[in-house]
Amino acid sequence: MSKERVTAERLATFSDAVFAVIVTVMVLELRAPDEAALSALWPLWPTAISYAVSYLFIAIIWINHHYLMFVGAPTLRLIWINFAHLFMVSFLPFATAWIARTTLASSPVFVYAGLFVCVDIAYNFFERDVLAHAAQVPERTRRIARRRSLIVLAIFVIAMLVALVMPRVGFGLICSALILHLKPDIRA
């Protein structure tokens, strides 16, 4: 096994562990109602929806990360970009809990969308660095990936701004942006 392959596997394993911890912290934030009635679940809808969206976001990040990780040998620059990306993702449990506790209020959704912007910027650097060093990726695939990443980033920025006046619409924009990243393996 080549040294680069081992490095890519170590980087992927470390990243997987960080993603697992982040999901675990999010799950620990979930609180069951004190009452035994099903009606006691209704007030928890902000928690359920924010958790589901954050979990989907982490799944999308992990899947896209997985597809990119083994395209080429990781450079020191890519490793640092990966750390920055994971650092941003690590704030997701905090932002998720905040929007859940405040029933998708304006400031928390603004911060949540802002966090998605930061995570997506870090991901864009990650993706760009990987694709720059991957000779086997066709130019058309690179262009599509760049366009898609910029569109998603723009939607997150718009969601952040819209959240200031219409937080639920901002939250909906976040959800719609995630749909664009569901399929990472763009075919040439």
Residue 13 lies in a domain: yes
Residue 127 lies in a domain: yes
How many structural domains is the chain composed of? 1
**Cβ-based neighbour number of residue 3 at 10 Å:** 8
Residue 186 lies in a domain: no
Residue 113 lies in a domain: yes
Residue 36 lies in a domain: no
Residue 144 lies in a domain: yes
What range defines the domain where residue 82 resides? 3-30+44-179
Q: Between the CA of residue 43 and those of 39, 48, 59, 103, what are the distances in Å?
A: 8, 10, 26, 9
Residue 157 lies in a domain: yes
Residue 185 lies in a domain: no
Q: What is the pLDDT along the chain (188 residues), one digit of tens a residue?
A: 455 555 778 888 899 999 999 999 998 888 888 888 888 888 888 899 999 999 999 999 898 888 777 776 788 888 899 999 999 999 999 999 999 999 999 999 999 999 999 999 998 998 888 888 777 778 888 888 888 889 999 999 999 999 999 999 999 999 999 988 777 654 43
pLDDT value for 182: 78
The angle that helices 106-132 and 92-101 make with each other, rounded to 10 degrees, is 160
Nearest-10 Cα torsion for 126, 106, 161, 149: 20
Residue among 113, 106, 121, 120 at smallest CA distance from 53: 113
Distance from CA of residue 69 to its chain's centroid? 16
